Structure 1
Amino acid sequence: MNEPLRDLLATLTSPEKAAAYAEDTYVQETAEQLDRLGVDATKFTREHSLLLLKPDAVVARAVRPTLEWLRDNGFRVVAARRLAADRHMIRALWYFAWNIASPERRRLADLLAGICDVLVLVVHADDGALPVPVRFTEAKGATDPRKRRPGELRHLLGNHSYLLNLVHTPDDPADVLRELAIYFDERVRAAVIAEAGIGADRTDEAAAIADDLYAEAPARGFDRAAALHRILDDLARAGIAAPPDAETTTGSARLLHAAWAEGRALDPWSVIVLGSYVLPMRTGQSEVRS
């Protein structure tokens, strides 16, 4: 039983979450490293948060608008790193919630991870009534497009779909501990922590990484009809006729399931976009989120 870690977590999150995180390897790794480096974990995780700009943010060309939003809303980028995302990172990040994700959502998320690399930012803000991760998550906006409001980051970047929400942030300081170890190995994590401690504005570094990502990953659209037409074109080239109900939600969903079952080679981005509109996102969910 790690009592020092339990005591630390009790100051950072809810009792239920603290109990679970005390046994989490990722949390343990970051907490132990901060202690070795002489960094106050409570202070660090209250004053900093993380921002993951997912592949959908890259192809939507949403990185630079995000950097502008951060500046305009009192957040400063103090570290930036490019990462290669994969299915394991996805499962680590959403481990405590992924059990309710539908099989279709997991499949789409895995496809999304393969579109391009991602950008992770460490952000700092001046002291406030709430910890920075909490303030940032509230300012970011909801996952559900219908709940986003003007002024929020996700509202600014575009109300695309429940799955294609472009960005992710930790909910509270305990999540900052956990996600630092998910994104970065010990060596890189030490450098990131040191940079964050210096506190210099590294927006220009983040913008340069964005330019590199843009150069490697073409811009893509989020239109449902365009995605369907691209998939139908792929199938037509394989000699497969479009089903008569392909443009309906049920028909599109059936089309994707059939293509997966038959191992059809379809444009991954179009599958992601169409699937995000017509497939269930949660286990047992019959309706889709548009």
Structure 2
Amino acid sequence: MSELEPLLARLTPQPEKVAAYRGDTYVAETVEQLERLGVDPAAFATGHSMLLLKPDAIVARAVEPTLKWLADNGYGVVAAEIVPVNRHLARALWYYAWNIASPERRRLADLLVDISDALVLVVTAPDDPLPVPVRLARAKGPTDPRKRRPGELRHLLGRDNYLLNLVHTPDDPADVLRELAIYFPEPLRARIIAASGQPSRAAAGDARVTPLERAGALAAELYARSPERSFDRDTALARILQDLGPAEPDPATLLDTALTNGTPVDPWSAIVLGSRELPMRTGTGAQTLRPVTATDWTEKFG
């Protein structure tokens, strides 16, 4: 039995995730650091979560509405950091589910990571029957726009798009351990752990700037690098036709051929149009790990 198995069994309701994560380098890296700093990994992972504002959220100018939603729903931001984004970050985050993504979706995702860097917020919340990551994942709302409900973050932010869903959060505490090491190198993790308020031998960060002030300043920095763009399908189509000429036989085929062949097109317009017109799932193969829900958690842990 892996040394991580007993810990992971307390942090996820999925036996499949325990089996997958017991040998995961990112999980092991975070657990080792937390223990070395005198922090209980289970307490940290259940008491904190992370909210990734993806490149599409930066283009949509979604940081400020997200910060307000967090405050209105009882979440506190304890750290905010810009995270460089590339194709490997996307594959690391969704490694255990990316096998069902269609080739078209992977191409669009690789375009999206070049649009902007991302902003990660580390958040906590008052005592709740659910761990913070489980509570936040439920409150964020589902990927499928048809299933979103008023009050959820994704419903508030809008855009009603499967791929361009703006934000990501860990599903459960086990994911918190894994994603912390994906986002942040070791020295930065130490500062974040210290800022979390957990008893720790790590050095605290600059107390003169509040996490909310830092989040706002980092958002302004990202906005300055990446212009605001339209999420409208017809606007994207017009730009793609400008780049490629008349559609034959249809815009989706034209765009897919261009992306497959590496033909230069406006990346943002290709992402918007492709996310509306191209398939997002393969339809074959099994998802390695399905998303964990609040119901999964309560059924196992009560």
Asked if 2 retains the 8 angstrom alpha-carbon contact of 1:56 and 1:166, the reply is yes
Whole-angstrom distance in 2 between the partners of 1:6 and 1:262? 45
Whole-angstrom distance in 1 between the partners of 2:156 and 2:215? 19
Asked if 2 retains the 8 angstrom alpha-carbon contact of 1:58 and 1:210, the reply is yes
Asked if 2 retains the 8 angstrom alpha-carbon contact of 1:161 and 1:277, the reply is yes
Whole-angstrom distance in 2 between the partners of 1:10 and 1:191? 27
* Cα deviations by residue, 1:221-280 (Å, 9 ceiling, x for unpaired): 100010000111122xxxxx40365xxxxx122011221244321100000000000010
Q: 1:206 is matched with which residue?
A: 215
Q: 2:246 is matched with which residue?
A: 242
Q: 1:263 is matched with which residue?
A: 262
* Cα deviations by residue, 1:42-65 (Å, 9 ceiling, x for unpaired): 111111000000000000010110
Match runs of 1:155-174 below 5 Å: 155-174=155-174
Whole-angstrom distance in 1 between the partners of 2:216 and 2:104? 33
Whole-angstrom distance in 2 between the partners of 1:20 and 1:9? 10
* Cα deviations by residue, 1:90-136 (Å, 9 ceiling, x for unpaired): 00000000000001111111110000110011001011000000000
Whole-angstrom distance in 2 between the partners of 1:90 and 1:263? 20
- Superposition deviation, residue 16 in structure 1: 2.2
Whole-angstrom distance in 2 between the partners of 1:15 and 1:161? 31
Aligned length: 274
* Cα deviations by residue, 1:34-83 (Å, 9 ceiling, x for unpaired): 00000011111111000000000000010110000000000011001001
Structure 2 unaligned runs (5+)?
199-203, 285-302
Q: 1:98 is matched with which residue?
A: 98
Asked if 1 retains the 8 angstrom alpha-carbon contact of 2:77 and 2:212, the reply is yes
Q: 1:7 is matched with which residue?
A: 6
Whole-angstrom distance in 2 between the partners of 1:222 and 1:231? 14
Whole-angstrom distance in 1 between the partners of 2:164 and 2:275? 7
Whole-angstrom distance in 1 between the partners of 2:84 and 2:168? 15
Structure 1 unaligned runs (5+)?
236-240, 246-250, 286-290
Asked if 1 retains the 8 angstrom alpha-carbon contact of 2:89 and 2:182, the reply is yes
RMSD: 1.5
Q: Which SS does the other structure have where 1:11 is aligned?
A: helix
Q: Does 1:252 align with 2:251?
A: yes
TM-score calculated relative to the size of structure 2: 0.88
Q: Which SS does the other structure have where 1:281 is aligned?
A: coil
Asked if 1 retains the 8 angstrom alpha-carbon contact of 2:80 and 2:119, the reply is yes
Q: 1:281 is matched with which residue?
A: 280
Q: Which SS does the other structure have where 1:197 is aligned?
A: coil
Whole-angstrom distance in 1 between the partners of 2:156 and 2:242? 32
Q: Which SS does the other structure have where 2:49 is aligned?
A: strand
Q: Percent identity?
A: 66
Q: Does 1:218 align with 2:232?
A: no
Whole-angstrom distance in 1 between the partners of 2:224 and 2:159? 24
Asked if 1 retains the 8 angstrom alpha-carbon contact of 2:248 and 2:254, the reply is no
> More displaced, 95-104 or 256-265?
256-265
Structure 1 runs (4+) deviating above 6 angstroms are none
Q: 1:229 is matched with which residue?
A: 238
Q: 1:87 is matched with which residue?
A: 87
Asked if 1 retains the 8 angstrom alpha-carbon contact of 2:144 and 2:161, the reply is yes
Whole-angstrom distance in 2 between the partners of 1:69 and 1:196? 20
Asked if 2 retains the 8 angstrom alpha-carbon contact of 1:80 and 1:120, the reply is yes
Q: Which SS does the other structure have where 2:271 is aligned?
A: helix
Q: 2:63 is matched with which residue?
A: 63
Q: Does 1:29 align with 2:29?
A: yes
* Cα deviations by residue, 1:191-247 (Å, 9 ceiling, x for unpaired): 111111269851111011001111111000100010000111122xxxxx40365xx
- Superposition deviation, residue 160 in structure 1: 2.8
Q: 1:134 is matched with which residue?
A: 134
Whole-angstrom distance in 1 between the partners of 2:24 and 2:248? 50
Whole-angstrom distance in 2 between the partners of 1:195 and 1:38? 14
Q: Match for 1:147: what amino acid?
A: K
Match runs of 1:31-50 below 5 Å: 31-50=31-50
Asked if 2 retains the 8 angstrom alpha-carbon contact of 1:160 and 1:222, the reply is no
Q: 1:238 is matched with which residue?
A: none
